[in-house]
Structure 1
Amino acid sequence: MLTVRGLHKSYVTPQGALAVLKGVDLTLETGSSLALLGESGSGKSTLLHLIAALDEVDAGEIWLDGISMTGLSETKRAALRREKLGIVFQQLNLIPSLTVHDNLEFHARITGRFDTAWQNELVERLGLKCLTDRYPEQLSGGQQQRVAVGGALAARPRLLLADEPTGNLDEATGDEVLNLALDLVHATGCAFLMATHSHRLAKRLDRQVTLTSGVLATS
């Protein structure tokens, strides 16, 4: 499902070039889950942004569902995100002017893969049945996170990317959100890559790797 080979990424700083990724190799099979561990600033978010085609690599290859991202135009990268990916980043990116119901439907609608039965199942599983007419600002952090997970999975993506999806939640709520995410990933059969600093949560996934000094090591 996902293959990353020899990935390098640097950023320009006032002190000169800062190498964040220094030859990252990674594979993830369909239906499997992988936790990406690392301290703050280790490059976890950078790696996820590159896989999500939100930024371009300096060197190396990323293959997503058999498609190479090398040299793709921004239009084609955007199409790849829509068609293949579900994304839950720390900012959540819920649309404040849309209700929970419409936020959940949004991605599935624009990809042409809206399914009423699956939508209803998501609402039920995520415990949002009584909240569908509310707006994001009227929800708790945990409820917003559930909506973000549901929206990311509504179009049945091939790969779900999550960057510290429980980082702003208390432990009990974070566990609940991860339980729901893993349950829904299992239901759709998609691959799941989660960046986290929590070894406890990482152990819930099939495999764990750690990003240190720009390279990956098996945990």
Structure 2
Amino acid sequence: MATRVTSFAEIADQFDAYIGDIVYATMTTVDAKGRPRARVLIPVWETAGGAPLGWLATYRTPVKAAHLAGNPHTTFSYWTPRQNAVSVDAVAAWVDDLETKRHVWDLYRRTSPQGAGYDLGNFWRGGPGDPQLHVLRLEPWRVQVIRGTDLHSRIWYAPESADRVRAARPCRAGPTGSLVRAAMDAPHLLPGQVRGAPAAACRGRVSLRTPPDGRRRRCAGGRAARRRCR
């Protein structure tokens, strides 16, 4: 059974406890053809502004860099034989400033959450300024924690994920506005990905059509303007 929570604080203790215990996460990215690649790494996490924020100290390998350049979305999966699990869907971005690297270096040194981390100096002898040290900033938009004893699941979505759907609320598909309600029930999907969504769901408001490049564009005006947005 899954329960949706509105505040990350509701699952923060469970999130920290599981990650601090499991430590290692499987990070998955995809290439230009949508083919996944997984690797096991140790990110660290903190809470900023009431939301989780992650950091990954890593090498900027050609595969990882190419995948994230084409699609910055990534998933981190934690699992233990006791069946406790955490899944984090996030958007990753490289950061290069020394101040951030020093902050991340300290998080790894003291472990964050407690138990998750290690001495980065074992791999990057030059300290935070080591040119081979690269850092990914991880901004989660969905976090799920699963308790192994009964498989009870709690899910948190970043407010921005809900805002993407709310932006389409003037549009109605069908006599009961089923498209918007379906999108609100599944905020992890872009509106254009909601099953059964007609291509011309919006008339002069916001286009719910998702172009091949995956980016949604706000379409204002008449039919000609909407054609350009497609």
Larger radius of gyration: 2
Structure that is richer in helix per residue: 1
Which has the bigger relative contact order, CA under 8 A and spacing at least 6? 1
